């Protein structure tokens, strides 16, 4: 009897999923007994650290996406959205659409790397009215929104309305919020040249952060440097500030105070039409609804990144809960962590299939970097702290080298070079929807399992 090939299914074509697939291809290069399958909603890997630059019109949208089919070699790729995972029957079900059949895929081994989505902490008004920066669509929408606000403000005679059109509020002082604030300010100041009635003083970019400092996880000195520089460039940063509501016209916030000292929380309201929410992520619903044990929505994994109760199932990246033994808190969700976990998960899968011993996941961050606009950045790398133009140059070099394809690297480099000498394009393209329309619908379950 011919032995059936063993199937490893990887869910999610982001940093974790793609890196794990690449490593699995290496490990099982000459092993025809193993079939590797990758399933993801989009057929590209999105280079998220460069999303703020797309939102600011510095990079073209296609520069920062890599088609998955050009990265993988022997893996079978399915473009589709996971509906649910049945870990008892070892089956992954995909949604159908008007054009696609709903299908079920059997697995012997599974790697879950479905990432995360924006967390609004239950504030439905904010979710309804605020913009997010998580997808390519989000970045394009923000760019168009900012340009639209300039167009409206230029010919607006009501000073109160004018001010609210020119006020942009970013909620969250982490990577995404700070980098987007810096890039947005650069775009606004660049574009102002074509809006002669708008003065520099009328433009307001504000960052709201609930913690006592921005860029948590960075060296304190570097975070302070970034804070001072952003303030010098005209960005207002409000620390220890929590958003309480946003109705599309006014954002309300309160100061976080020490209640034990009987301090009264100060309430403030700012008129704005554009709030960009970057204040946190939570795993996608497919994970929260799954049969896996979760905490704070993330899948609980053991030291080997294996999901408890389900041997042969691994979870990595933003959707996995792994506690940093040195702080006893979960690691911050980063691309670097997702890639490191992907490597360990691939190694352990290989070991498991070969009946060898698996290795524990151990992580040492290689450093952190952020760019903060006006050709400035902050970086802590190999124990060294760098700031200013050197950190900005380092950021560009490191992230350019991380783009897996030469043609994309060249495109990014070209766009960066053009940006040094020419003004940004201020054409407002009409993408009206905040989110792409949902194309998914439930079809009758099919009985064939692929
Ligand atoms: C604006 C921004 C800037 C950032 N900057 C940095 C940075 O500078 N450095 C850094 O280290 N990190 C950065 N990050 C964080 C980093 O992007 C994430 O931590 C990383 O992408 C996590 O990798 P992942 O594989 O877990 O998830 P993701 O990369 O999000 O991949 C998840 C994949 O699963 C797919 N998916 C989700 N649900 C389904 C479903 N139901 N069915 C099928 N497919 C599905 C998604 O389409 C996606 O392809 C940034 C994030 C953002 C948003």
Instruction: Domain of residue 173: give its range.
Output: 124-279
Task: Please check whether residues 257 and 322 belong to one and the same domain.
Answer: no
First to last CA, the chain: 21
Boundary residue ending a domain (316, 336, 365): 365
Boundary residue ending a domain (365, 384, 412): 365
367 lines ligand 1 (CB under 6 A): no
pLDDT of 444 higher than 50: no
Residue 384 Cα to ligand 1 middle (Å): 27
CB distance 181 to 226 below 8 Å: no
* Confidence band for 448, pLDDT divided at 50, 70 and 90: low
Give the bridge partners for 45, in sequence order.
66
Q: What span, in angstroms and rounded, lies between the C-alpha atoms of 343 and 425?
A: 40
pLDDT at 443: 45
Task: Please check whether residues 114 and 128 belong to one and the same domain.
Answer: no
284 lines ligand 1 (CB under 6 A): yes
- Of 2-16, 223-237, 435-449, the one with minimum mean pLDDT is 435-449
Task: Tally the domains of the chain.
Answer: 2
CB distance 394 to 378 below 8 Å: no
Task: Please check whether residues 360 and 216 belong to one and the same domain.
Answer: no
Task: Please check whether residues 133 and 108 belong to one and the same domain.
Answer: no
Whether residue 28 lies inside any domain: the answer is yes
> Distance from CA of residue 323 to its chain's centroid?
20
Whether residue 108 lies inside any domain: the answer is yes
pLDDT of 55 higher than 80: yes
Whether residue 397 lies inside any domain: the answer is no
Task: Please check whether residues 171 and 210 belong to one and the same domain.
Answer: yes
* Confidence band for 328, pLDDT divided at 50, 70 and 90: confident
133 lines ligand 1 (CB under 6 A): yes
Residues 281-307: pLDDT tens digits? 998 999 988 999 999 899 999 999 999
Whether residue 373 lies inside any domain: the answer is no
Closest atom, ligand 1, to C-alpha of 18: 25
Task: Please check whether residues 135 and 178 belong to one and the same domain.
Answer: yes
- Of 164-178, 198-212, 424-438, the one with minimum mean pLDDT is 424-438
Averaged confidence pLDDT in the chain: 92
Task: Please check whether residues 15 and 29 belong to one and the same domain.
Answer: yes
DSSP labels for 392-444?
HHHHHHHHHHHSS-HHHHHHHHHHHHHHHHSPPP-PPP----SSPPP-EE--P
Task: Please check whether residues 197 and 246 belong to one and the same domain.
Answer: yes
Mutate to test the pocket of ligand 1, among 9, 45, 48, 378 (most ligand atoms within 8 A of CB): 48
Question: Atom 46 in ligand 1: which residue has the minimum CA distance?
Answer: 12
What's 203's domain CATH number? 3.50.50.100
Residue 78 Cα to ligand 1 middle (Å): 18
What's 317's domain CATH number? 3.50.50.60
Boundary residue ending a domain (279, 310, 330): 279
Task: Please check whether residues 167 and 268 belong to one and the same domain.
Answer: yes
Average pLDDT of span 268-274: 97
Closest atom, ligand 1, to C-alpha of 115: 27
Whether residue 215 lies inside any domain: the answer is yes
Task: Please check whether residues 205 and 245 belong to one and the same domain.
Answer: yes
- Of 311, 312, 307, the C-alpha closest to 292 is 307
Closest atom, ligand 1, to C-alpha of 317: 26
Whether residue 252 lies inside any domain: the answer is yes
Closest atom, ligand 1, to C-alpha of 334: 19
Closest atom, ligand 1, to C-alpha of 336: 11
CA distances from 450 to 34, 90, 446 (A): 15, 12, 11
CB distance 252 to 268 below 8 Å: yes
Average pLDDT of span 206-232: 93
This prediction has a pTM of 0.91
* Confidence band for 38, pLDDT divided at 50, 70 and 90: very high
Question: Atom 23 in ligand 1: which residue has the minimum CA distance?
Answer: 15
Residue 308 Cα to ligand 1 middle (Å): 23
139 lines ligand 1 (CB under 6 A): no
115 lines ligand 1 (CB under 6 A): yes
Q: Which two tokens stand for residue 221?
A: 């000195």
Task: Please check whether residues 145 and 217 belong to one and the same domain.
Answer: yes
Q: What span, in angstroms and rounded, lies between the C-alpha atoms of 236 and 30?
A: 57
Mutate to test the pocket of ligand 1, among 11, 40, 59 (most ligand atoms within 8 A of CB): 40
Give the bridge partners for 92, in sequence order.
85, 105
Question: Atom 52 in ligand 1: which residue has the minimum CA distance?
Answer: 48
Residue 378 Cα to ligand 1 middle (Å): 22
pLDDT of 441 higher than 70: no
Whether residue 145 lies inside any domain: the answer is yes
Average pLDDT of span 225-243: 95
Whether residue 137 lies inside any domain: the answer is yes
Supply φ then ψ for residue 255, to 5 degrees: -75, 135
Task: Please check whether residues 151 and 214 belong to one and the same domain.
Answer: yes
Residues 372-381: pLDDT tens digits? 988 899 998 8
């Amino acid at each position: 009897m011919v032995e059936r090939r063993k199937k490893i299914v990887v869910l999610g074509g982001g940093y974790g999923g793609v890196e794990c697939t690449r490593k699995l291809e290496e490990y099982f290069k000459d092993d025809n007994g193993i079939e590797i399958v990758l399933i993801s909603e989009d057929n590209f890997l999105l280079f998220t650290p460069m999303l703020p630059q797309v939102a600011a019109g510095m990079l073209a949208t296609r520069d920062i996406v890599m088609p998955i089919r050009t990265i993988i070699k022997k893996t079978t790729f399915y473009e589709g959205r996971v509906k649910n995972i049945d870990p008892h029957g070892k089956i992954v079900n995909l949604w159908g659409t008007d054009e696609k059949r709903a299908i079920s895929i059997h697995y012997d081994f599974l790697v879950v790397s479905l990432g995360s989505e924006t967390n609004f902490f239950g504030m439905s008004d904010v979710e309804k009215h605020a913009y997010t920066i998580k997808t390519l669509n989000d970045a394009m929408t923000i760019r168009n929104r900012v340009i639209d606000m300039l167009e409206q403000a230029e010919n607006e005679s009501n000073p109160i309305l004018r001010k609210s059109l020119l006020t942009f509020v970013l909620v969250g002082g982490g990577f995404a919020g700070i980098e987007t604030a810096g890039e947005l300010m650069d775009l606004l100041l660049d574009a102002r040249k074509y809006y002669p009635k708008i003065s520099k003083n009328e433009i307001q970019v504000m960052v709201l952060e609930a913690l006592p400092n921005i860029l948590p996880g960075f060296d304190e000195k570097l975070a302070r440097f970034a804070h001072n520089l952003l303030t010098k460039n005209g960005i207002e940063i409000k620390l220890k500030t929590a958003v309480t509501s946003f109705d599309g016209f006014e954002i309300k916030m309160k100061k976080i105070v020490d209640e034990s000292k009987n301090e009264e929380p100060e309430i403030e309201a700012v008129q704005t039409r554009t709030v960009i929410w970057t204040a946190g992520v939570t795993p996608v619903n497919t994970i929260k609804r799954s049969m896996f044990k979760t905490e704070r929505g993330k899948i609980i994994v053991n030291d080997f990144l294996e999901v408890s109760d389900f041997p042969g199932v691994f979870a990595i990246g933003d959707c996995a809960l792994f506690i940093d033994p040195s702080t006893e808190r979960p690691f911050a969700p980063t691309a670097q962590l997702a890639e490191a976990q992907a490597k360990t998960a691939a190694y352990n899968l290989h070991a498991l299939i070969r009946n060898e011993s698996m290795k524990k996941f151990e992580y040492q961050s290689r450093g952190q970097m952020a760019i903060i606009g006006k050709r400035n950045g902050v970086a802590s790398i190999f124990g060294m702290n760098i700031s200013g133009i050197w950190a900005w140059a380092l950021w560009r070099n490191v992230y350019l080298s991380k783009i897996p394809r030469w043609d994309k690297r060249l495109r990014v480099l070209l766009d960066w070079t053009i940006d040094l000498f020419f003004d940004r394009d201020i054409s407002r393209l009409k993408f009206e929807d905040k989110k792409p329309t949902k194309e998914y619908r439930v079809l009758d379950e099919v009985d064939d399992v692929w």
